[in-house]
Amino acid sequence: MASAPEKATPPPIPLLGKASADVLKDWSSTADNPDDAQVHRKRAAAAASMATLIDSIPQPSSNPTATKGLPSMLRAQTRHPLDPLTAAEISVAVATVRAAGATPEVRDSMRFIEVVLLEPDKNVVALADAYFFPPFQPSLLPRTKGGPVIPSKLPPRKARLVVYNKKSNETSIWVVVLSEVHAVTRGGHHRGKVISSKVVPSVQPPMDAEEYAECEAIVKDFPPFREAMRRRGIEDMDLVMVDPWCVGYHSEADAPNRRLAKPLIFCRTESDSPMENGYARPVEGIYVLVDMQNMVVVEFQDYKLVPLPPADPLRNYTAGETRGGVDRSDVKPLHIIQPEGPSFRVDGHFVQWQKWNFRIGFTSREGLVIYSIAYVDGSRGRRPVAHRLSFVEMVVPYGDPHDPHYRKNAFDAGEDGLGKNAHSLKKGCDCLGYVKYFDAHFTNFTGGVETTENCVCLHEEDHGILWKHQDWRSGLAEVRRSRRLTVSFICTVANYEYGFFWHFYQDGKIEAEVKLTGILSLGALQPGEVRKYGTTIAPGLYAPVHQHFFVARMDMAVDCKPGEAYNQVVEVNVKVEEPGENNPHSNAFYVEEKLLKSEQEAMRDCNPLTARQWIIRNTRTVNRTGQLTGYKLVPGSNCLPLAGTEAKFLRRAAFLNHNLWVTPYARDEMFPGGEFPNQNPRVREGLATWVKQNRPLEETDIVLWYVFGITHVPRLEDWPVMPVERIGFMLMPHGFFNCSPAVDVPPSSCDSHLKENGMVTKSYQNGLIAKL
Residues marked as catalytic: 412, 496
Q: How far apart are CA 495 and CA 279, in angstroms?
A: 8
CB proximity list for 753: less than 8 A, separation 6 or greater: 475, 476, 477
Cβ burial of 330 (10 Å; 0-12, 13-18, 19+) is exposed
Residue 107 phi/psi, 5° resolution? -65, -40
Residue pair 27/143 in contact (Cβ under 8 Å)? The answer is yes
CB proximity list for 62: less than 8 A, separation 6 or greater: none
Strand order in the sheet with 589-595: 436-443, 449-470, 477-493, 496-505, 510-518, 722-733, 628-635, 613-622, 567-576, 589-595
Strand order in the sheet with 282-283: 240-243, 264-267, 282-283
Host H or E run for residue 631: strand 628-635
User: Alpha helix (H) ranges present in 85-220?
Assistant: 87-99, 104-109, 122-127, 209-220
A 10 A CB-CB count for 624 gives 9
Q: Compute the C-alpha angle 520/524/530, nearest 5°.
A: 100
CA atoms within 13 A on the CB side of 185: 20
CB proximity list for 644: less than 8 A, separation 6 or greater: none
CA atoms within 13 A on the CB side of 580: 4
590 beta partners: 575
DSSP summary character for residue 148: -
Residue pair 209/420 in contact (Cβ under 8 Å)? The answer is yes
Residue 541 phi/psi, 5° resolution? -140, 130
Q: How far apart are CA 240 and CA 229, in angstroms?
A: 9
Cis peptide before 135 (omega within 30 of 0): yes
Of the candidates 474, 481, 420, the one whose C-alpha atom is nearest the C-alpha of residue 445 is 420
Q: How far apart are CA 373 and CA 511, in angstroms?
A: 13
Residue 351 phi/psi, 5° resolution? -120, 135
- Burial readout 114-139 (b: 16 or more C-beta within 10 A, e: otherwise): bbbbbbbbbbbbbbbbbbbbeebbbe
391 beta partners: 552
410 beta partners: 396
Q: How far apart are CA 592 and CA 188, in angstroms?
A: 65
**Cα radius of gyration (the chain):** 29
Residue pair 246/261 in contact (Cβ under 8 Å)? The answer is yes
Q: How far apart are CA 481 and CA 458, in angstroms?
A: 20
Q: How far apart are CA 138 and CA 161, in angstroms?
A: 33
A 10 A CB-CB count for 731 gives 26
Q: What amino acid is encoded at 372 in this protein?
A: S
Q: How far apart are CA 98 and CA 165, in angstroms?
A: 11
Host H or E run for residue 39: helix 37-56
- DSSP strand E in 688-759: where? 702-712, 722-733
Report helix, strand or coil for 477.
strand
- DSSP strand E in 239-312: where? 240-243, 260-261, 264-267, 282-283, 286-291, 296-302
